[in-house]
């Protein structure tokens, strides 16, 4: 079950906490069963840890942290990753997410359920899970996939050829070479993906999948000059903030592991 932690700096003046409670009340008014708690870095209670513990006691197994700062500075870059890592150490199986908030903003902006995007994401995630669990190597696994899909692909190409569509047999030599080279261009990333899927955690693999759409976003923005409104800016900022928090937490955990190993 998901919970939401409204994370702020805190202040000595009790009035400073009222906007956080108003946000929580607004969420609960729309979703009466939601798990929402504030958590502050310092000077106010509940603290970040107390907010996380409260959500866990209510049944939360995944917590979305929403940083609310006028000037985040090092608090989001350093303090939040450290506290998130410590909270996950205290509660086994607890996941703390920031990237999900950005995705939710984009979904709200679209105004309807993007079925095609969700199907693509679901099938690719299932593919990654199967690769993770497969005992075959990357080359052997890709060979099996090719053997299974070859009859379907060959049948489709033959049908297109008979119907007068497609490229094969209907274009010049250069275009034929481009089309045939697509197989190599596609196979290499799949081999590398299979190699990485068996060696990385699925959480790491999933977060890395944000790199490709982010690159596409940069191309669309700076090469094709596509419109970029405030909603998309907020969503991408939160997604990359989530990636930064996760990466920082991984480095922090690895550093603590080596420090404990050196003292042992």
Cα Rg, the chain, nearest whole Å: 24
Q: How far, in Å, are 87, 183, 253 from residue 61 at the CA level?
A: 12, 42, 20
Catalytic site includes residue 9: yes
Among 194, 201, 196, 210, smallest CA distance to 250 is for 201
Intra-chain end-to-end CA distance of the chain, in Å = 37
DSSP letter at 13 equals S
98 SS3 class: coil
Sheet holding 2-8: strands in order across? 35-40, 2-8, 62-67, 95-97
Taking a C-beta distance cutoff of 8 angstroms, is the pair 49, 56 a contact? no
How distant is the alpha carbon of residue 171 from its chain centre?
Answer: 41
Active site residues: 9
């Amino acid at each position: 079950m998901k919970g939401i932690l409204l994370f702020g700096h805190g202040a000595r003046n009790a009035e400073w906490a009222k906007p956080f409670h108003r946000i929580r009340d607004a969420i609960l008014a729309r979703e009466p069963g939601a798990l929402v708690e504030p958590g502050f870095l310092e000077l106010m209670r509940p603290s970040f840890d107390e907010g996380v513990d409260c959500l866990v006691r209510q049944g939360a197994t995944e917590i979305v942290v929403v940083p609310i700062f006028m000037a985040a500075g090092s608090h989001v870059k350093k303090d939040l990753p450290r506290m998130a890592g410590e909270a996950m150490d205290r509660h086994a199986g607890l996941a703390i997410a920031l990237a999900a908030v950005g995705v939710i903003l984009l979904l709200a902006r679209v105004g309807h359920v993007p079925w095609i995007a969700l199907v693509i994401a679901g099938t690719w995630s299932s593919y990654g899970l199967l690769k993770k669990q497969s005992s075959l190597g990357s080359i052997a696994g890709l060979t099996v996939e090719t053997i299974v899909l070859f009859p379907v692909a060959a049948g489709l190409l033959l049908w297109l050829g008979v119907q007068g569509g497609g490229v094969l047999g209907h274009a010049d030599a250069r275009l034929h070479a481009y089309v045939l080279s697509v197989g190599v261009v596609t196979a290499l990333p799949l081999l590398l993906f299979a190699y990485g899927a068996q060696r990385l955690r699925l959480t790491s693999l999933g977060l890395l999948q944000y790199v490709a759409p982010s690159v596409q976003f940069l191309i669309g923005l700076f090469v094709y000059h596509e419109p970029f409104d405030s909603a998309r800016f907020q969503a991408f900022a939160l997604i990359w903030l989530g990636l930064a928090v996760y990466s920082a937490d991984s480095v922090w955990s690895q550093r603590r592991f080596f420090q404990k190993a050196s003292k042992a």
